[in-house]
């Protein structure tokens, strides 16, 4: 049985700041060598060359080592950064750590559990193709097992980080006589995320194995729990599975739902209810009563260029990429629900929820 989880959300005060993690450790809230995953938002451009992710990664790992965690162990901790805090979204990190068994009151009620795995290395020519789907699916199953989850229905959030294509990796593939799905590096972010989501959906039995032709084309194929991010930091799929399991114990529980479109506040409230909070039919932020730890969303501009029948110009805008516009819009909608701008809203949601919408996961403190 995996250990119970302590989870806290902390602000990031500057690009290279990890002081709030240090404070949690100094205050005895969690131990450095028990931190098992960190998921956060950084304030860069969210694109291929968003190096704020690398800066934050280094800052948080350095704190863990300085506070006593073995360096080799810290190198293996999955830290997933989503770049871009457009609009009101505030830089922050959600930190997951195990709790010593002696400090946990056992419970058969389903409580938060986390598992982690790395896929086999992903070659540039595999990004966007069924080989990648298979490798991701295999890693998801390993992470589920490590989380103590046997029923896919108990998985409510799968956060991944995968490689995208760069000029260097495209050149590498060509030097070996291989082709790549796209030579547009920014487009490869959507591609890597979407293909990864299909791997998650296959692993959890949400869809049957798709074909190469389905990737990025058949948007009816999606996962309701996938949250996929990509960058230049790694050459494998880094997979964090978050769900509930009986017998783990602890105070926290996770649930999920789906936003049907960019304005679907009810989808956010449904995720919070799914996590275990009893809310009125028409809830307000005050009904959360400080029990919401964080919400995690993916968003996407609808391919028809509309929201609820009204036309928008995001997909035609050559000045500001639609990634930034939809992220800011959904970030505002989400912050209006939670009353807190430190929300994890990530863009590029191909095959993650329905077209124009996206999955929502919520972690709550049940006390």
Q: Which of 9, 41, 161, 327 is catalytic?
A: 161
What would the mean pLDDT of 312-340 be, rounded to a whole number?
Answer: 97
Place of tokens 């629900």: 337
* Residue-level pLDDT at 48: 83
Place of tokens 């419970």: 107
Place of tokens 């830089």: 91
What CA–CA distances, in Å, run from 110 to 101, 106, 155, 158, 323? Answer: 16, 11, 12, 18, 36
d(CA 34, CA 73): 10
What CA–CA distances, in Å, run from 93 to 8, 138, 154? Answer: 8, 27, 24
pLDDT band at 231 (very low <50, low <70, confident <90, very high): confident
Annotate 61-73 with b (16+ C-beta within 10 A) or e (fewer): bebbeebebeeee
Interval 238-276: pLDDT, tens: 999 999 999 999 999 999 999 999 999 999 999 999 999
* Residue-level pLDDT at 232: 82
CB atoms under 10 Å from CB of 337, counted, come to 22
**Residue 23 phi, psi (nearest 5):** -65, -40
Q: What contacts 146, CB < 8 A, 6 or more positions away?
A: 2, 115, 116, 117, 241
What would the mean pLDDT of 147-160 be, rounded to a whole number?
Answer: 97
Helix (H) or strand (E) holding 202: helix 187-203
Q: What contacts 22, CB < 8 A, 6 or more positions away?
A: 63, 66, 67
What are all long-range contacts of 208-213, with beta carbons under 8 Å and residues at least 24 apart?
Answer: 209/130, 209/133, 209/134, 210/130, 210/133, 211/130, 212/128, 212/129, 212/130
* Residue-level pLDDT at 315: 97
Q: Which of 229, 274, 302, 348 is catalytic?
A: 229
Q: Is the pLDDT of residue 363 over 90?
A: yes
Q: Which stretches of 217-359 are DSSP H helices?
A: 265-275, 322-338
What would the mean pLDDT of 183-209 be, rounded to a whole number?
Answer: 97
Percent of the chain with pLDDT over 90: 95
* Residue-level pLDDT at 33: 98
Its sign, for the CA torsion 182, 187, 188, 194, is negative
Place of tokens 């602890």: 250
* Residue-level pLDDT at 367: 86
Helix (H) or strand (E) holding 201: helix 187-203
Interval 73-85: pLDDT, tens: 999 999 999 999 9
Active site residue 90: no
Average per-residue pLDDT in the chain? 96
For the whole model, what pTM was predicted? Answer: 0.95
Comparison of pLDDT for 107 and 359, the residue scoring more: 359
* Residue-level pLDDT at 29: 97
Q: Is the pLDDT of residue 233 over 80?
A: no
Active site residue 161: yes
**Structural contact between residues 226 and 158, judged by C-beta atoms closer than 8 angstroms:** yes
- Tell me the two tokens of residue 186: 């920014």
SS3 of residue 362 by DSSP: strand
């Amino acid at each position: 049985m995996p250990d119970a989880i302590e989870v806290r959300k902390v602000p990031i005060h500057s690009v290279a700041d990890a002081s709030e993690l240090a404070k949690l450790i100094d205050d005895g809230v969690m131990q450095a060598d028990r931190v098992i995953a960190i998921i956060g938002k950084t304030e860069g451009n969210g694109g291929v060359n968003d190096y704020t992710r690398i800066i934050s990664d280094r800052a948080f790992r350095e704190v863990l080592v300085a506070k006593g965690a073995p360096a080799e162990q810290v190198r293996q901790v999955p830290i997933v950064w989503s770049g871009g805090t457009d609009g009101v979204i505030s830089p922050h990190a959600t930190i997951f750590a195990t709790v010593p068994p002696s400090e946990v009151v056992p419970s058969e009620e389903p409580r938060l559990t986390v598992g982690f795995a790395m896929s086999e290395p992903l070659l540039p020519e595999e990004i966007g193709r069924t080989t990648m789907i298979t490798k991701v699916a295999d890693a998801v199953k390993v992470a589920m097992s490590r989380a103590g989850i046997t029923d896919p229905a108990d998985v409510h959030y799968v956060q991944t980080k995968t490689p995208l294509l760069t000029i260097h990796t495209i050149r590498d593939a060509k030097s070996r006589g291989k082709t790549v799905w796209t030579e547009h590096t920014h487009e490869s972010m959507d591609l890597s995320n979407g293909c990864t989501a299909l791997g998650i959906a296959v692993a959890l039995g949400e869809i049957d194995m798709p074909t190469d032709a389905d990737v990025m084309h058949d948007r009816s194929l999606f996962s309701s729990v996938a949250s996929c991010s990509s960058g230049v930091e790694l050459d494998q799929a880094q997979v964090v599975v978050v769900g509930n399991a009986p017998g783990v114990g602890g105070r926290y529980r996770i649930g999920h739902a789906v936003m049907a479109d960019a304005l679907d506040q009810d989808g956010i409230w449904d995720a919070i209810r799914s996590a275990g909070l009893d809310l009125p039919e028409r809830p307000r932020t005050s009904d959360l009563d400080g029990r919401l730890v964080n919400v995690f969303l993916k968003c996407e501009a609808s391919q028809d260029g509309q929201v609820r029948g009204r036309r928008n110009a995001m997909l035609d805008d050559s000045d500001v990429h639609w990634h930034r516009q939809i992220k800011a819009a959904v970030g505002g909608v989400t912050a209006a629900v939670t009353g807190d701008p430190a929300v994890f809203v990530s863009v590029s949601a191909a095959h993650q929820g329905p077209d124009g919408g996206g999955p929502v996961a919520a972690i709550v403190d049940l006390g």
